[in-house]
Amino acid sequence: MQGYSFELVTGPMGCGKTEELLRRVRRTIIAKKKVKVISPEVDTRAHGDYIESRNGLWLEAIKVKNAAQILSVVKQDDEIVAIDELQFFDEYIVKVISKLVEAGKKVIGTGLDLDFKAEPFGYMPELMCLATKIDKLSAVCMKCGSEYATRTQRLVDGKPVDKNSPLIMIGGDETYEARCIKCYELPDVKSETRKREFKLLHFGE
Ligand SMILES: [Zn+2]
């Protein structure tokens, strides 16, 4: 088990990032290492204090409100720090992970590389530069079945949302699916009716 390292698993929605994180964490538990599993509170998939992959695997996790809080959660004798959904953290996440790695810990993280607009998500570009090892996974395209789905399509009522939709929608009626570059769609709709519709979804009123 190597300390002083940062393994990053990235890719679109549904590529198996969390599943891979859980697999790696389980191995460290078998090796009797001290491990902390952390996830941002914004993650709506898991409601309790745990992280869950799409295939139903789960592990207890500590929910944090921001990146700085990670440092107060991790204890000196923790050897492994696993962090899910890194794309949701503030800019301090880059410093926090550097500090953990420099303190000799092995950090294993996951995060979406691209948002639904196919633009770099949060501080993932910086984290990819900082990583010791990166595994970029692809998903199966939900439209054509290609094994190289690298993008995350956001759908509302089964239709692709346009560019003006907010980056993070909590409690909305939206779904996501993995798509290949050929099948990915990003309409540029700016009509007032559409805007109002998204506002309502965003605030859940
Ligand atoms: Zn496709």
- CATH classification of the domain holding 183: 3.30.60.20
Q: What are phi and psi of 197, to 5 degrees?
A: -60, -45
Compute, in angstroms, the gap from residue 163 CA to the centroid of ligand 1. Answer: 20
**89 and 61 share a domain?**
yes
Compute, in angstroms, the gap from residue 174 CA to the centroid of ligand 1. Answer: 20
**Does the annotation count 85 as an active-site position?**
yes
Give dist(CA 70, CA 89) in Å, integer: 11
Given phi > 0 = left and psi -120 to 50 = alpha, else beta, which region is 54? alpha
Q: Tokens standing for 18? A: 């969390």
**155 and 116 share a domain?**
no
For residue 143, tell me if it sits in a domain: no
**71 and 12 share a domain?**
yes
pLDDT of amino acid 156: 85
SS3 percent helix, strand, coil of the chain, rounded to 5, is: 25, 25, 50
Which of the four pLDDT bands, split at 50, 70 and 90, describes residue 205? very low
pLDDT beyond 90 at 30: yes
Compute, in angstroms, the gap from residue 181 CA to the centroid of ligand 1. Answer: 7
pLDDT beyond 60 at 202: no
pLDDT of amino acid 119: 95
**10 and 61 share a domain?**
yes
Q: Catalytic one among 7, 20, 52, 85?
A: 85
Q: Note the residue count of the chain.
A: 205
132 or 42, greater pLDDT? 132
Strand ranges, E, within 150-189:
151-156, 159-160, 174-179
Q: Tokens standing for 203? A: 């605030």
Compute, in angstroms, the gap from residue 150 CA to the centroid of ligand 1. Answer: 10
Mean pLDDT of the residues in the chain? 88
- Based on the structure, what is the number of domains in the chain? 2
**164 and 117 share a domain?**
no
**179 and 83 share a domain?**
no
**55 and 130 share a domain?**
yes
For residue 146, tell me if it sits in a domain: no
Compute, in angstroms, the gap from residue 143 CA to the centroid of ligand 1. Answer: 5
What single DSSP character describes residue 14?
A: T
Domain ranges, residue 51 = 5-136
pLDDT of amino acid 46: 53
pLDDT of amino acid 162: 84
Q: CB–CB of 143/16 below 8 Å? A: no
For residue 141, tell me if it sits in a domain: no
**63 and 126 share a domain?**
yes
Compute, in angstroms, the gap from residue 89 CA to the centroid of ligand 1. Answer: 30
Q: Please give the model's pTM, rounded to 2 decimal places.
A: 0.86
Compute, in angstroms, the gap from residue 115 CA to the centroid of ligand 1. Answer: 17
pLDDT beyond 80 at 198: no
CB within 5 A of ion ligand 1: which residues?
141, 143-144, 146, 180, 183
User: Domain holding 128: CATH number?
Assistant: 3.40.50.300
Q: CB–CB of 192/175 below 8 Å? A: no
Average pLDDT over residues 98-109: 98
Q: Tokens standing for 95? A: 């410093």
Distances in Å between the Cα of 121 and the Cα atoms of 5, 8, 20, 88 are 22, 14, 20, 8
162 or 125, greater pLDDT? 125
pLDDT of amino acid 190: 62
Q: In which element (H, E) is residue 129 found?
A: helix 124-130
Percent of the residues in the chain that have a pLDDT greater than 90, as a whole number: 71
**100 and 189 share a domain?**
no
pLDDT of amino acid 19: 94
Give dist(CA 48, CA 160) in Å, integer: 30
58 or 86, greater pLDDT? 86
pLDDT in tens, 128-152: 999 999 999 999 999 999 999 999 9
Average pLDDT over residues 158-163: 86
What single DSSP character describes residue 171?
A: S
The 10 Å Cβ neighbour count of residue 10 is 23
pLDDT of amino acid 171: 54
For residue 145, tell me if it sits in a domain: no
Last residue of a domain, one of 83, 109, 136: 136
pLDDT beyond 70 at 57: yes
